[in-house]
Structure 1
Amino acid sequence: MPSAEGIGLRSLLHYWLSALLLGLSLPLSLSAEPLRLYSQEYPPVNFSVAGEPAGMAVEVVRELARRSAQPIHLEVVPWARAYREAQTRPNSGVFVAMRTAERESLFQWVGPITVNTTGFYALTDAAPRIDSLDDARHHGEIAIPRDWYSHQLLRAAGFGNLHPVPGPDMVVQMLKHRRVKLMVMDNLGLSAYLARGGLRDDEVKLLFSFLRSYSYIAFSPETDPALVARWQEELDGMKRDGSFAAIHHKWLPGAQMPGLRALP
């Protein structure tokens, strides 16, 4: 039979071990708070189907959350709201967001997720010749999604003939109904937006590409940097083990796939 002293010692050790385990569990419980991640209607990269988020980047984000054991709350909202929330709300982010010099200090970045090429497009039967940014300044108003990276860049470049609208769907409609001669769009979302607007791919012509960029998951400055670093490590792991390539090819067949940690 064990002595009273032995029982007392074991009880004391059990108490201290329990306290230690409880203390270790506290930081973990903080990370259990769901990350709020916002995206927009940008098919096939991220969009909604019957109110549920879907798309290439959504699959990547869900796999990153699974690998890092991080609960998340996904929401598809207008771009302006997504961009605002991801700058001001702790434990939040927006995807996909183009990483540019102007945005660099506004977020913490995980990526890259896609490679995008942006250019000026026109209706094929009324396409002017555009060989430079300066040419584009002299062809009337240009429809462009408001506050997209392309809008910010061209505005900073002194373009005075931009016609910003709430989103790409309206951009396509303005071109379709000939309210503008030019629109700005990137290659990944082009076909989906044309189809939604009732245009075929061959009815629109690329005139001049002016921007090549990389998209990322952009986390708010108040999000735990350790969490952001973990997500970057897991994304790199997905690229090394082939799971990222499988998702990318499923949604963006033939599109260029980004490598590891490309810079803007």
Structure 2
Amino acid sequence: MTENLPPYQMPGPQGKVQGVAAEKVNKLLSDLNITADIQVMPWARAYKIAVNEPGTLIFSIVRTPAREGLFHWLGVLMSTKTYLISLRKRKDIKVEGLVDLLNYRVGVKRDDVVFQYLQSKGMLDTIVVLPETFVTVKMLLKGRADIIAASPIHLDYMCEKIGCNRSDFRFLFELDELSNDFYLAANRQTSADIILLLQQKLAEQN
């Protein structure tokens, strides 16, 4: 299971899933002669399936204390940093800590790591819940959200598609409490032998 999160993973031609993280997953499965059907869907649905259906893998997923016991963590695919971002022209927005978010509308993707993090901090009243990350950028550009969360590499990719520039945005605050690693993880009921095999092969690749 995965979501459309370019440039990490995204639908490609002939039903293939491509992107820098997807390439590592495809190579891992190929090296082990494992045939897998990689499905791209909204994150909330992918996450629910991965939690509940044995034999399911999910990527790219951030490892957090709340998620720790829900999955077998197979290894790191990519590393990144997550920032809170506003439009550069919005000089009125000032964020020095999470409490300042209560003054603004924060656009986040349903059930992603930022949503869960802000929820754990009691920030639900300020959250504008959206279906996927491209929509968060569009809502920010239209002024329907004041702040969103994104990594620099992801923002650059989205701007390439939407027609904006990184210079249009201001990086307000790094969410350094979140893990900076994107993992491949497996449902808890997956066979221990398969888990060990995947962990060992991924460690070799890294």
Same fold (TM over 0.5): yes
CA distance in 2, matches of 1:134, 1:68: 47
Whole-angstrom distance in 1 between the partners of 2:99 and 2:52? 36
Residue 43 of structure 1 is matched in structure 2 by 6
Residue of structure 2 in register with 1:163 after alignment: 128
1:150 to 91, 103, 114: 114
1:235 aligns with 2:206: no
Q: How is 1:9-88 mapped onto 2 (pairs within 5 angstroms)?
A: 38-50=1-13, 51-88=15-52
Whether contact under 8 Å (1:92, 1:220) holds in the other structure is: yes
**Larger RCO (CA under 8 A, 6+ residues apart):** 2
Name the aligned partner's letter for residue 127 of structure 2.
L
Q: Helix, strand or coil: the match of 1:44?
A: coil
- Please list the CA deviations of residues 117-140 of structure 1 after superposition, one character each: whole Å capped at 9, or x if unmatched: 1121111111422211122222x2
> 2: distance between equivalents of 1:67 and 1:52?
17
> 1:24-63, CA deviations, whole angstroms, 9 ceiling, x for partnerless residues?
xxxxxxxxxxxxxx11111111111244210111111111
Letter in 2 for 1:49: G
Q: Which residue of 2 aligns with 1:207?
A: 172
- Paired residue total: 201
For residues 80-123 of structure 1, give each alpha carbon's deviation from its aligned partner in whole angstroms, at most 9, with x where no partner exists: 22111111112111111111100011111111112221121111
Find the counterpart in structure 2 of residue 97 from structure 1. Answer: 61
- Determine helix, strand or coil for the equivalent of 1:43: coil
Question: Over the residues paired in the alignment, what is the CA RMSD in angstroms?
Answer: 1.4
SS state at 1:229 partner: helix
- Matching residue of 1:225: 192
Provide the residue aligned with 2:137 in structure 1: 172
| Superposition TM-score, scaled by structure 2 size | 0.92
**Paired residue for 1:188?**
153
SS of residue matched to 2:39: strand
Runs of 4+ in 1 over 6 A off after TM superposition: none
Contact 1:85 1:93 in 2 (8 A): no
2:90 maps to 126
Residue deviations 1:146-186 (CA, integer Å, cap 9, x gap): 11111101111011201111011111111101112211223
Does the CA-based 8 Å contact 1:39-1:79 persist in structure 2?
Answer: yes
Greater mean alpha carbon deviation, residues 148-157 or residues 222-231: 222-231
Provide structure 2 residue ranges, at least 5 long, that are not aligned to the other structure.
Answer: none
Query: How far apart, in 2, do the equivalents of 1:55 and 1:232 lie?
Result: 21
Query: How high is the sequence identity, in percent, across the aligned residues?
Result: 25
Letter in 2 for 1:102: A
Structure 2: how far apart are the matches of 1:114 and 1:238?
Answer: 12
Aligned to 1:136: 101
Task: Report the alpha carbon displacement of residue 75 of structure 1 after superposing the two structures with TM.
Answer: 1.6
Point out the structure with max Rg over C-alpha. Answer: 1
Q: CA deviation at 1:190?
A: 1.5
Equivalent-residue separation in structure 2 for 1:92 and 1:181 (angstroms): 36
Q: 2:78 aligns with which of 110, 114, 138?
A: 114
Taking the aligned partners of 2:147 and 2:60, their CA distance within structure 1 comes to 25
Distance 1:230 1:101 in 2: 24
SS at match of 1:147: coil
SS of structure 1 residue aligned to 2:96: coil
